[in-house]
Amino acid sequence: MINCMKLTLPSFSSNESSSRAMVSAFAAQLNPTFDELSDIKCAVSEAVTNSIVHAYRDMIGQIVITVRLYDDRSIRVEIKDRGCGIPDVEAAMQPLFTTDPDGERSGMGFTVIENFMDSLTVRSTPGKGTRVVMNKKLSPLPVKR
């Protein structure tokens, strides 16, 4: 590992864009392409939004975001909450699955993360919380001459 950042934020909806910006600023030191950085920002947004709107539906709780950068140009982002948890993770990860009663959500958050990152792992315990881990390996830097 070459660098690590840990952020703890309350689940205010304003912290969705803040967390995206902070993770992006930190990841920028690996010199990702514009597209790679966009992918990471989108994936982080989806996971943090889930903690805000689902995990802490009727309350404010803490969201812990850990970002690790590795020598092989891979980046690992962990987003953890102590919210309501997910009873059936496999079902929740299916495209279009949502428990949003108001129909404002698309049920595509996990699908977006899976498509934009190389891997996604979701661990959750109902009543205890959820941990989402995503990895992405960046393309090699262009050789300077």
Contact between 11 and ligand ADP by CB under 6 A: the answer reads no
**68, 73, 105, 131: the active-site residue:** 105
Interacting residue with Mg ion among 15, 50, 124, 130 (CB under 5 A): 50
Q: CA 50 to CA 44: how far, in whole Å?
A: 10
DSSP tally for the chain: helices H, then strands E: 4, 5
Contact between 109 and Mg ion by CB under 5 A: the answer reads yes
Per-residue x/- track, 30-69, ligand ADP (CB under 6 A): ----------------x---xx--xx--------------
Cβ distance to ligand ADP smaller for residue 32 or 124: 124
Least Å from the CB of residue 105 to ligand ADP: 3
Q: How many residues bind ligand ADP (CB under 6 A)?
A: 22
Phi, psi of 78 (to 5 degrees): -115, 130
Task: Specify whether the CB–CB gap between 77 and 139 falls below 8 A.
Answer: no
DSSP E strands in 61-113: the ranges are 62-69, 74-81
Return the one option of Mg ion, ligand ADP, none that residue 86 interacts with (CB less than 5 to 8 A, by type). Answer: ligand ADP
Q: Pick from 5, 145, 143: which is nearest to 69 by CA? A: 5
